[in-house]
Amino acid sequence: MLKLYIGNKNYSAWSMRPWVLMRQSGIHFEEVKVRFDSFSADSQFKKQMLSLSPVGKVPVLVDDDLTIWDSLAISEYLAERFPEKHLWPQHATHRARARSLVAEMHSGFGALRNICPMNIEAGLDKVGAQLWERHPELRADVRKLEALWLPQLQAAHGPMLFDQFSIADAFFAPACMRIKSYGLPTSQLVTAYVQRICLLPSTQEWVQGALAENDFLPLEEPYRTQR
């Protein structure tokens, strides 16, 4: 059976992507959670992850004697391993567009990631309003998300970016969590899409797992001293 190593569900945006992708697509796997005790070289997290891959990060997918790290590499492997699941859109033009959007998310949006780290448990509307006011780069990243999403949502004949759920939606799920947690302002179409992503069964299951952790990690929450 496939084995997916992930970090804390409340904080680990990178882990959320392949987990939601696999759950929503009905790909069976064993979950192994490795707690974020620290990211220093001598932490238990680093020691365990370095025993699996040379980068020492989550997520990691293990398929028998094959180990794949990096959320995009994992997703591409799954698309090849399970072609019947149609993890990428079936239409060639849509598939190319979806890959462009995923690549943009994978390599960009540094301001959104760094200023608004994923925190599913917390209601951070007040913090989000302050951050929105102080950081033009955050506003620019959200405007960029809108520019990527709106043409797809306007053209879509289904609830997701490319009609049906795909890797693209899984990759943007953590961004949707950030928009929700921090109350970041978005247009009506984008707000509705964020709500649909949040209501996916796989997302709901991930959220429930995050809430059940009850594991406050100060290194992940610079804006709070306690939960």
Q: What's the CA gap between 162 and 88, in Å, rounded? A: 9
**pLDDT tens digit sequence for 49-105:** 999 999 999 999 999 999 999 999 999 999 999 999 999 999 999 999 999 999 999
**pLDDT tens digit sequence for 133-178:** 999 999 999 999 999 999 999 999 999 999 999 999 999 999 999 9
- Position 123 pLDDT exceeds 70: yes
Averaged pLDDT score across all residues of the chain: 95
Looking at residues 207-223, what average pLDDT do you find? 85
- Position 42 pLDDT exceeds 90: yes
Domain spans, the chain: 2-85, 92-208
**pLDDT tens digit sequence for 4-32:** 999 999 999 999 999 999 999 999 999 99
Q: What is the pLDDT of residue 218?
A: 76
Looking at residues 29-45, what average pLDDT do you find? 94
Structural domain 92-208, CATH architecture: Up-down Bundle (1.20)
- 2-85: CATH superfamily: Glutaredoxin (3.40.30.10)
CB count in 10 Å sphere of residue 207: 18
- Position 215 pLDDT exceeds 90: no
Q: What is the pLDDT of residue 216?
A: 83
Report residue 226's pLDDT band, with 50, 70 and 90 as the boundaries: low
Q: What is the pLDDT of residue 227?
A: 61
CB proximity list for 67: less than 8 A, separation 6 or greater: 52, 53, 60, 61
- Position 219 pLDDT exceeds 80: no
